[in-house]
């Protein structure tokens, strides 16, 4: 099963050209696009009202996005809905295909068409009155061809009027065609203003501006419509994807009736210091919840009693400590020997930034080549002065890092990383160190050393609370020790982490969610995964 593909919006024009060169009629594609929008709207309102009582507005620009809108309007009118169509430019400025479908719409209902010239006070009043009494609005003003240039003038006023109508009437549904007008489909940047859609119907595949933030915040529910473009036209471009629960379920290792704990996987966690024991505890518990067979925690000897009391199912391994009660670099050889009994490592949560401890982490990364997830304080080993040889010779192909934007900035030597530059930065660090990078945040990004990237669709700002990153480290570490590959472990770990939050906030609220609540959520996610994987083989 292939994951859902995501492309930069600028690729659409290239794909269209190739389709046309191969004999696919561009008007046929436009007709399919507009009809798919209308079909979704009709389905949404089926049973809610008599069709003739449904009122809607379609706002069309001069490009192909506007042409999609004209097709949708014609289908909606034919269905019996009360539709008014407003277009923002004179017909002589329309693209050829847009003009073609505009003329067809004129023959269906010329009295339903209005040139939205805001200099004409009468038309402006008609537009606003129709907004106030409509059940839905179709935004077909700007499509995926809008890049960089900020919106101003009449178009900005029209977008603001559409958003204002929604604020006044929460029952109003806004549908955007391909992408909400005002979003850069390549960078997800808001070009001064943008339509705040409830539903975006996009074509062929999801666009980067819909999956990445801040654009994703304006997209609402995204529905991908097949308009007849063969998949081969998408495969040669950037490798950006989105997983779903079935894709994740397919990758979780199968368990046989005779499976035992040593076969499931053994994870060695190196974490914790004075005042930061909670981070290590949450990592270990999350690893157990995510299916690890055995988890052992390496910790400063003085904290061993605390961990033994907090962790019933996890074994502890106390080692030499520094004066600050952190793990000492003198225990390097001991940990290397211990690691031979384990399938994967998780390093960093609550580890502290003590120089001796960070030196230990650098040496462990250099000398233990087992699958490793590196997080939190452990990431300091990748920033600042290096003590593990020449950076060009540093082999981190066995490592998954899980930084937030601030930590990634430090690794790359930047002051900050903005929302629009997150993808570029994550690809850069993954390729530079030949590792897998999980950049946490709104729309967590997971990138392999080849640049292949997944944008995680689960979770939201509820996860912006202390300790949730430690839970993620435990989940990914658990999947690694169960034998999953680096990219699969990272993608599935981020998905399960976010999904557990989505489940829990239904009872806790987003505001009140705490990291330890996710431990309950993980159980619910795996119940869903097992129902998919085992198809009733076991009673759940």
Could you tell me the pLDDT band of residue 238, with boundaries at 50, 70 and 90? confident
Among 233-247, 396-410, 499-513, the range scoring the smallest mean pLDDT is 233-247
What is the Cβ-side half-sphere exposure of residue 159, based on CA atoms within 13 angstroms? 25
User: DSSP H helical segments within 434-485, as ranges?
Assistant: 468-481
Core vs surface per residue 414-434: b (16+ CB within 10 A) or e: eeebebbebbebbbbbbebbe
Q: Is the pLDDT of residue 114 over 60?
A: yes
What integer pLDDT is reported at residue 391 of this predicted model?
53
Q: Is the dihedral of CA 374, 408, 445, 504 positive or negative?
A: positive
Tell me if residue 445 falls in helix, strand or coil: strand
Fold of 4-240: Rossmann fold (3.40.50)
Mean pLDDT, range 355-370, rounded to an integer: 95
Q: Is the dihedral of CA 492, 280, 445, 189 positive or negative?
A: positive
**Residue matched to tokens 């929008």:** 37
Spatial strand order of the sheet with 240-242 comes to 206-207, 4-7, 240-242, 453-455, 445-447, 436-439, 399-401, 372-374, 344-347, 266-270, 294-300, 315-319
What integer pLDDT is reported at residue 94 of this predicted model?
95
Mean pLDDT, range 76-91, rounded to an integer: 94
**What's the pLDDT tens digit per position in 307-322?**
999 999 999 999 999 9
Could you tell me the pLDDT band of residue 393, with boundaries at 50, 70 and 90? low
Domain-by-domain residue ranges, the chain? 4-240, 258-534
What integer pLDDT is reported at residue 107 of this predicted model?
85
What is the Cβ-side half-sphere exposure of residue 103, based on CA atoms within 13 angstroms? 7
Could you tell me the pLDDT band of residue 540, with boundaries at 50, 70 and 90? very low
**What's the pLDDT tens digit per position in 211-225?**
999 999 999 999 999
**Residue matched to tokens 């993608």:** 491
Tell me if residue 345 falls in helix, strand or coil: strand
Please, which residues bridge with residue 138 across strands?
Answer: 58, 175
Could you tell me the pLDDT band of residue 536, with boundaries at 50, 70 and 90? low
Mean pLDDT, range 190-195, rounded to an integer: 95
**What's the pLDDT tens digit per position in 501-528?**
999 999 999 999 999 999 999 999 999 9
Q: Is the pLDDT of residue 62 over 80?
A: yes
The Cα 406–Cα 416 span in angstroms is: 7
CATH number of 258-534, picked from 1.10.3720.10, 3.40.50.261, 3.30.750.200, 3.40.1190.20? 3.40.1190.20
Q: Is the pLDDT of residue 424 over 80?
A: yes
Q: Is the pLDDT of residue 267 over 70?
A: yes
What integer pLDDT is reported at residue 52 of this predicted model?
81
Mean pLDDT, range 354-374, rounded to an integer: 96
**Residue among 452, 535, 491 nearest 251 (CA):** 491
More confident: 48 or 146: 146
What integer pLDDT is reported at residue 235 of this predicted model?
82
What integer pLDDT is reported at residue 534 of this predicted model?
86
DSSP state of 327: B
Would you call the peptide bond into 214 cis, given omega within 30 degrees of 0 as the criterion?
A: yes
Mean pLDDT, range 190-208, rounded to an integer: 95
Query: How many C-beta atoms lie closer than 10 Å to residue 494's C-beta?
Result: 28
The Cα 247–Cα 307 span in angstroms is: 36
Task: Check if the beta carbon of residue 115 is closer than 8 Å to that of residue 90.
Answer: yes
Taking phi over 0 as left and psi of -120 to 50 as alpha, with beta for the rest, 503 belongs to alpha
Q: Is the pLDDT of residue 538 over 70?
A: no
Residue % of the chain over a pLDDT of 70 = 97
The Cα 313–Cα 504 span in angstroms is: 24
Mean pLDDT, range 171-191, rounded to an integer: 95
Segment 196-200 long-range contacts (CB within 8 Å, at least 24 positions apart): 196/163, 196/166, 196/220, 197/139, 198/166, 198/173, 198/174, 199/40, 199/44, 199/173, 199/174, 199/175, 199/223, 200/175, 200/176
Within the chain, what is the greatest distance between any pair of CA atoms?
A: 84
Cα angle 281, 339, 295; round to 5 = 30
The Cα 122–Cα 442 span in angstroms is: 43
Q: What is the model's pTM?
A: 0.91
Tokens of 438: 């999980």
**What's the pLDDT tens digit per position in 104-113?**
999 877 788 9
Tokens of 270: 């190196």
Could you tell me the pLDDT band of residue 539, with boundaries at 50, 70 and 90? very low
Q: Is the pLDDT of residue 385 over 80?
A: no
Residue 278 exposed, middle or buried by CB count within 10 Å (0-12, 13-18, 19+): middle
What integer pLDDT is reported at residue 387 of this predicted model?
45
Mean pLDDT, range 370-385, rounded to an integer: 90
């Amino acid at each position: 099963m292939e994951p859902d593909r995501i492309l930069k919006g600028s690729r659409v024009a290239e794909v269209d050209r190739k389709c046309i060169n191969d004999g696919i009629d561009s008007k046929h594609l436009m007709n399919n696009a507009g009809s798919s929008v209308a079909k979704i709207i009709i389905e949404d309102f089926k049973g809610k009202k008599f069709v003739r009582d449904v009122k809607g507005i379609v706002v069309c620009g001069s490009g192909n996005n506007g042409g999609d809108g004209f097709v949708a309007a014609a289908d909606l009118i034919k269905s019996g809905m009360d539709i008014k169509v407003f277009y923002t430019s004179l017909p002589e400025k329309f693209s050829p295909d847009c003009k073609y479908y505009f003329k067809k719409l004129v023959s269906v209902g010329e009295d339903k068409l209005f040139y939205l010239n805001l200099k004409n006070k009468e038309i402006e009043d008609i537009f606003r009155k129709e907004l106030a009494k409509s059940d839905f609005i179709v935004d077909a003003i700007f499509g995926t061809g809008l890049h960089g240039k900020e919106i101003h003038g009449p178009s900005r006023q029209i977008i603001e009027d559409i958003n204002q109508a929604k604020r006044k009437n929460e029952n109003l549904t806004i549908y955007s065609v391909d992408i909400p007008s005002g979003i850069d489909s390549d960078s997800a940047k808001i070009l001064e203003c943008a339509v705040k859609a409830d539903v975006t119907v996009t074509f062929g595949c999801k666009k980067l501006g819909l999956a990445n933030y801040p654009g994703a915040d304006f997209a609402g529910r995204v529905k991908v419509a097949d308009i007849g473009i063969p998949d081969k036209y998408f495969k040669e471009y950037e490798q950006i994807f989105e997983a779903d629960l079935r894709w994740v379920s397919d990758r979780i290792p199968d368990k046989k009736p005779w499976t035992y704990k040593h076969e499931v996987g053994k994870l060695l966690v190196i974490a914790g210091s004075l005042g930061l024991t909670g981070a290590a505890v949450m990592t270990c518990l999350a690893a157990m919840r995510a299916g690890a067979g055995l988890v052992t925690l390496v910790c400063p000897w003085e904290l061993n009693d605390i961990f033994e009391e907090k962790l019933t199912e996890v074994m502890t391994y106390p080692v030499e400590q520094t004066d600050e009660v952190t793990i000492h670099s003198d225990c390097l050889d001991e940990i290397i020997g211990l690691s031979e009994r384990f399938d994967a490592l998780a390093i960093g949560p609550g580890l502290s930034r003590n120089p001796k401890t960070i030196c230990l982490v650098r040496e462990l990364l250099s000398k233990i080549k087992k699958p490793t997830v590196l997080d939190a304080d452990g990431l300091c080993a990748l920033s600042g002065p290096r003590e593990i040889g020449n950076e060009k010779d540093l082999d981190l192909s066995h490592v998954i890092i899980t930084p937030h934007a601030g930590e990634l900035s430090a690794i790359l030597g930047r002051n900050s990383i903005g929302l629009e530059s997150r993808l570029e930065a994550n690809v850069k660090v993954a390729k530079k160190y030949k590792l897998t990078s999980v950049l946490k945040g709104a729309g967590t990004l997971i990138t392999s050393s080849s640049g292949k990237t997944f944008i995680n669709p689960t979770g939201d700002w509820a996860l912006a609370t202390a300790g949730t990153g430690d839970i993620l480290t435990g989940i990914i570490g658990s999947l690694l020790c169960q034998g999953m590959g680096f990219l699969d472990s990272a993608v599935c770990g981020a998905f399960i982490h976010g999904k557990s939050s989505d489940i829990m906030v239904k009872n806790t609220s987003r505001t009140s969610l705490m990291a330890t609540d996710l431990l309950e959520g993980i159980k619910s996610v795996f119940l869903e995964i097992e129902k998919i994987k085992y198809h009733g083989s076991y009673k759940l």
